[in-house]
Every structure is written in C-alpha cells, then in structure tokens.
Amino acid sequence: MISKLNINQEIDLAMTAHKEGKLLEAETLYQKILEIQPKLSQVQNNLGIIFESSNKLNEAEICYRKAIEFQPDYTDAHFNLGNILKSLDNFEEAEKSYKKAAELKPDYIAQVYNNLGIIQKQLGLLDLAEINYKKAIEHDTHYATAYFNIANLMRDSNKLDESIEFYKKTIELKQDYILAYFNLGFVYKKIGKFNDAEINYKKVIEFNPNNAEAHNNLGNLMQDLDRLNESSEYYKKALSLDSTNKMFINGYGRLLLKLNYHNSGLKLISQTDGVIKFTQLGLKII
C-alpha cells in the first residue's frame, strides 16, 4: 500500500515507466496512486493516455473527465477528451472539448481547427471541413498534418490539381510523410501522369521497403504501361508481403494472362471471386 508520504516518489516512478514505454507497469502504479489520492488530475490524465493507447476508449474517457472535474482548466485533458469523443463518434461533444482546449490555451488552436475539420469531413460537411483545415494552416503554416488532410479532402472532392499542391506542401514540411507520397502517386496515376506516379510510389518503398500496397500499385502501373516484367516483380514482392490479399492476387492473375500463362492466371483470378466469362472475342473478367 502506498502511503501519502511517498506518493510523490510513486508518481515519479509511474511517469518514468510511462516515458520508457512500460505501460502495464505505469498503469498499475497510476491506479495504486489514485486509490490513495483520486483527485490527482495529472495522474488521471496520464492513466487516460495509457487506456487510449490500448484502445480502452471508455476507460480513457472516464479518466479524462475526472481530470477535468478535479481541475477544470486542465487544457491537455480537454483536448484528450475531444480526441476520445471523436473516436467514439460523439462529434458534438468532441467539438465542445476542442473549443474549450483552444480557449484555455491558444497554442492548441491549429490542432483544434484541424480536428474540427476531421469531424466535419466525417459528417459530410466538406465545405466546413475545408474552412477549418485552412484555418489550422493559417495558425500554423508548418502543420504538415493539416496540409495532408486538406489534400485528402481535395482528392475526395475530385479537385485533383489542388490536392497535388497540398500533398507537395506536406512533403516539403515532412520529407518522410509516407502516406503523402502514396496518395500523391494515386492522384498522379488518376490524371495520367504515370512517371510522377511511379516516382512517388518508389519513394514510399524507399522509406518502407515492406509497403505491400506500394509494390502492388507499381505492379498495376507497370502493367498499364506494358512494362510487364517489371510489373511481375512488383506483384511478386507485394504477394510475398501479403499472400492472401485478393486485390494483389487478382492483379497478378491478370498480368499472367497478358504473359500467356493462362492456366496460372485463371487459377489466381478464381481465388479472388472474380467471374470469368468466355466470349467469341476471348475471355472477359468481371
């Protein structure tokens, strides 16, 4: 049992374990501390962070609310509660928590606008989402995540030229932003700029050689460009990383048909629930 006399020492031990990634040890220590002094807001908040990292969202919400109950001006707890409520699809309450965090600490304003944009996009309020992402950027011109989010919004709204510029800005700010390279590759392929698509998918692989989707997308791209041997190598690599992915199997099967390995190609396609129809003009895969 922890005595009130050495509770500060226990808090130090818990926080050290937390920083070192010893989450079970930290969780146990935080809970023991709260048995003695449940009104320690920082400990409630830190325990909430551990629960959140373990996807125990309801438990995390309880901790953050207790932290706020005992310390109403605890900015981090308001912001963390907003994140949890967003994850629980309680968007209205999440918005209130974010706004309270920004009210208490202006440094949070850019993050708040960004997260409001995420909520509004999920609600289908795309114009409002765009406004809030842009406000996030106004408050923090180096906020790579906000640029990435607005790039995705532009892509989904079929404003592809704008999305390209925002993806480029994301990468300018964070040169190892793998998803930005991946999505930029997707957009370039969609508008027919195949060389640029290839460059960006290869950047994904440069940063993460085991990114199966990038290998698969390069397989698709090489197949479209009739660079079939290269396509084969990319598909093989993708399947070596994820051998049960039906999209990868289907793509490789289609390639094998082009390479005249009909039996092998049809066998693969049949594994992906693809329907093969034979017509007077040949076979058709639907």
Give tens-digit pLDDT for 31-79.
Answer: 999 999 999 999 999 999 999 999 999 999 999 999 999 999 999 999 9
Q: How many domains does the chain divide into? A: 3
pLDDT in tens, 120-149: 999 899 999 999 999 999 999 999 999 999
Are 167 and 220 within one domain? no
Residue 113 has pLDDT above 90, yes or no: yes
Q: What is the CATH number of the domain that holds 25?
A: 1.25.40.10
**Burial of residue 57, with CB atoms counted within 10 A of its CB: 0-12 exposed, 13-18 middle, 19 or more buried:** middle
Confidence of residue 249 (pLDDT cuts 50, 70, 90): very high
Beta carbons within 8 Å of 264's beta carbon, 6+ residues apart: 253, 256
Amino acid found at 149: N
Q: Structural domain of residue 61, as residue ranges?
A: 1-104
Note whether 43 and 119 are same-domain residues.
Answer: no
Confidence of residue 278 (pLDDT cuts 50, 70, 90): very low
**Of the candidates 71, 1, 68, the residue with the CA atom closest to the CA atom of residue 29:** 1
Assigned domain for 255 exists: yes
Query: Looking at residues 243-249, what average pLDDT do you find?
Result: 95
Q: What is the pLDDT of residues 163-187, one digit of tens each?
A: 999 999 999 999 999 999 999 999 9
Spell out the long-range contacts of 100-108 with Cβ–Cβ below 8 A and sequence spacing 24 or more.
101/75, 101/76, 104/73, 104/75, 104/78, 105/75, 108/75, 108/79
Final residue before a domain boundary, out of 38, 73, 104 = 104
Mean pLDDT of 227-255: 96
HSE toward the beta carbon, residue 147, CA cutoff 13 A: 21
Indicate the residue among 155, 179, 200 that finishes a domain.
200
Residue 205 in any domain: the answer is no
* 50 or 284, which is more confident: 50
Q: Are residues 226 and 169 in the same domain?
A: no
Residue 188's pLDDT is what?
98
Mean pLDDT confidence for 273-279: 50
Place of tokens 């125990």: 56
